[in-house]
Amino acid sequence: MADVGWGMKRNIIAAMVLFGFWNSAFAQVSSSSGGPATDVYRPSLDSLPRPTASTITGSQMRPSELGAASQIFYERCAGCHGVLRQGATGRALPAETMSALGEDEVVRRITHGGDTGMPSWGASEILSQNEIKLMARYLMVPPSSPPEFGLSSMRESWRNVVPMANRPIKKMNDLDLDNMFAVVLRDIDQVALIDGNSKKVVATIPTGHAVHVVRPSLSRRYLHIISRDGKASLVDLWSQAPQLVAEIKIGYEARAVEPSKFKGYEDRYVAVGAYWPPQFTILDGNTYEPLNVISTRGMIAGSGDYHPEARVASIIASYERPEFLVNVKETGQALLVDYTDVVNPTIKSLKAERFLHDGGLDSTRRYALIAANAEDKVVVVDTKERRVAAVVEKGIGIRPHPGRGANINHPQFGPAWVTGHLGDSTIAIIGTDPDKHPKNAWKVVQNLKGLGNGSLFSTTHPKSHHLWVDAPMNPSPNIAGSVAVFDVNHLDKPAKILPVANLAGINDNSAKVVHAAYDRSGQEVWLSVWNRVDRQSAIVVLDDETMKVKTIIADDRIKTPTGKFNIFNTGQDIY
């Protein structure tokens, strides 16, 4: 932390070590009836002071235990349940309810997970029994609000590692960038760059903790990386060896990053969305200088009630206008942010559905389909006419989780978009062609049966007739270690099930197969066998047509691989 000033250090330490602490300076007030203290949200620009025994009300936990538990909650739980534990993709976890359930029951639920995507933290050996017991006690302590993180804090963290004057003006290497893969090495805080032709690791890039997504710029020069601890990293692929050229911290927890893609604005701006504080930041696309930060706290679509934790779940760049589509989870607001003037941006707020999560564009790149997963709906935004075109509900399963989804050409219903589900085995196919197939547009035209609940991603390619769907969050190790493959030309037939972890020679309960990704040509499919950091992981490369193993990438540097992003396909929104 030598690169940042004391104010920045103080905020980082406070958020990362004291995250989730019950603290009298922020959260304890007496009720009007004289009853016990309750948690009241009080925004502040100050960091949390270290709690003392007198401020940890009823927790029966030492400060060191609270520190360890809050770190686990930050890394493993807050993304679904929320910093303030008010719920979204995961259920709300009020301390009163946890206390009423009792420690033994909370331990059981954490150990075995649930049927809507809750991991089996104990059965899969991700958390030890002592850690699970610690978390059960921690959930009985009311949460507090972490500190804020504004533009001044961002500027303190910003590092323009390689200034523009020192960067190449043309590509300085022989790498085939169109067939390069950026692979998230989630639990070792790195992204690996792998040559799609030779299958060799070209470089490993240090990042923040637990990278969530990688987004290549439309020019394929830059990689934009966001980690869960709010650190954004910029990688220049034109350098003689790809290298980190800028980085910045935009908050304490984040999930979304997206470069501008409208014609004439390629590479100019980057939008980064935070879970905490609830806000998004617009950065200079070449240097990561922070230009503006905009809060997303506000009123819930429909009810009009205020929500203090309105997190940015995903961001999609429009090809129709110079705009970012910023999807706000808790309030159900889809924000169309015009970036022609980033200092005074025009923002149109669309009232959509609550708990907007992930999603992507249809094959024309006009319509964005976003899962409102806790409401079991999919929202369709017309980025050309700037309106909500439809809300798809009938036929959607439990907790849709598409990633960016998959665009297929259905033999009967025409162009369609696909999502799997965290909560059941259905795979929903939604018609996306209002011009030539108006009767099928924005309706579930067919439901397929996948491996089981716990699906995170589906994918295909314009040159392939296969649809690949994973289920890494399923509690069964056999299902979590496999992938389902459908023939798009024969969707009346069941999927072929491939035991990918077994094909890689990895046979233990903690291995999960996640995130199929095509190479540039559409002839190969790459799948991650994601395992614990102390166990064997791998990337399995399959021939798309024969579904036979072509290569197993088991380089010692490939640890805990999750998402794989082909530079061309991802940058062009081909999925």
Annotated catalytic residue, options 8, 80, 98, 140: 80
Question: Going by C-beta distance under 8 Å and a sequence separation of 6 or more, which residues neighbour residue 165?
Answer: none
The 10 Å Cβ neighbour count of residue 437 is 18
135 classed as catalytic: no
81 classed as catalytic: yes
- CA gap 385, 338 in Å, rounded: 14
What six digits make up the tokens of 255? 């999930």
Place of tokens 């903690």: 510
Name the 3-class secondary structure at 497: strand
Does residue 463 contact residue 521 with C-beta atoms inside 8 Å? Answer: yes
What six digits make up the tokens of 102? 């009792």
**Torsion over CA of 483, 374, 272 and 220, rounded to 10 degrees?**
30
The 3-state DSSP composition of the chain as helix, strand, coil percent (nearest 5) reads 15, 35, 50
Question: Going by C-beta distance under 8 Å and a sequence separation of 6 or more, which residues neighbour residue 227?
Answer: 189, 207, 208, 209, 210, 211, 212, 233, 254
357 classed as catalytic: yes
- CA gap 183, 201 in Å, rounded: 10
140 classed as catalytic: no
For residue 464, what is the DSSP state?
Answer: -
Annotated catalytic residue, options 61, 118, 140, 473: 118
Annotated catalytic residue, options 401, 410, 437, 461: 401
Q: CA 84, 279, 152, 2 torsion: positive or negative?
A: positive
465 classed as catalytic: no
- CA gap 262, 218 in Å, rounded: 9
Annotated catalytic residue, options 357, 421, 466, 515: 357
Q: What is the 3-class SS of 234-258, one letter each residue?
A: EEECCCCCCEEEEEEECCCEEEEEE
172 classed as catalytic: no
What six digits make up the tokens of 109? 């639920």
Residues noted as catalytic: 77, 80-81, 118, 357, 401
